[in-house]
């Protein structure tokens, strides 16, 4: 089945599939005693929709996030300046893996692995790259694209 798909975005079920995944992940992290701390000061009321749009763009879908909400710089700044948080990152990844199962996206091993690899990479590199200060994040960053082969250069 996946061999017939052009993008990871399409294999997830497109915008609707990623919205379900974002909902499942958000529910999981809000129940996690460590990861939920990241949301303890509140979050945007459209967090799930924005997250789904971000993932869609990163996984080969439309550029809705960049056109409507911001660029990679704005996303990375939101996740920066909070010091190192390796345990939180690992638990967020575990919640993502559980959300893949919750939504049925883990049923296809190839798709599950690609999505896991993407989320783990994004969580431990771009989103954790500036622990000291959001002011360290460079301007003009573009959302990294991820394909069946990993990070697109």
Quick one: what percent of the chain has pLDDT higher than 70?
Answer: 93
For the stretch 24-53, pLDDT in tens is 999 999 998 888 777 767 676 789 999 999
Q: Helix/strand/coil (H, E, C) string of the chain?
A: CHHHCCCHHHHCCHHHHHHHHHHHHHHHHHHCCCHHHHHCCCCCCCHHHHHHHHHHHHCCCCCHHHHHCCCHHHHHHHCCCCCCCHHHHHHHHHHHHHHHHHCCCCCCHHHHHHHHHHHHHHHHCCCCCCCCCHHHCCCCCCCCCEECCEECC
- pTM score: 0.90
Domains of the chain: 2-151 (1.10.490.10)
Structure-model confidence comparison of residues 134 and 79, the more confident one: 134
């Amino acid at each position: 089945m996946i061999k017939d798909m052009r993008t990871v975005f399409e294999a997830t079920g497109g915008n609707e599939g990623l919205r379900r995944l974002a909902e499942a992940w958000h529910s999981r992290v809000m129940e996690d005693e460590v990861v939920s701390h990241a949301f303890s000061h509140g979050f945007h009321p459209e967090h799930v929709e924005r997250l789904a749009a971000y993932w869609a763009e990163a996984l080969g879908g439309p550029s809705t996030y960049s056109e409507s909400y911001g660029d990679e710089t704005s996303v990375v700044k939101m996740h920066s300046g909070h010091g190192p948080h390796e345990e939180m990152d690992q638990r967020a990844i575990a919640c993502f893996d559980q959300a893949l199962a919750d939504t049925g996206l883990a049923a296809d091993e190839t798709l599950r692995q690609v999505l896991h690899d993407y989320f783990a990479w994004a969580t431990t590199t771009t989103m954790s790259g500036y622990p000291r200060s959001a002011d360290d994040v460079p301007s003009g960053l573009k959302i990294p694209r991820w394909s069946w082969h990993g990070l697109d250069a």
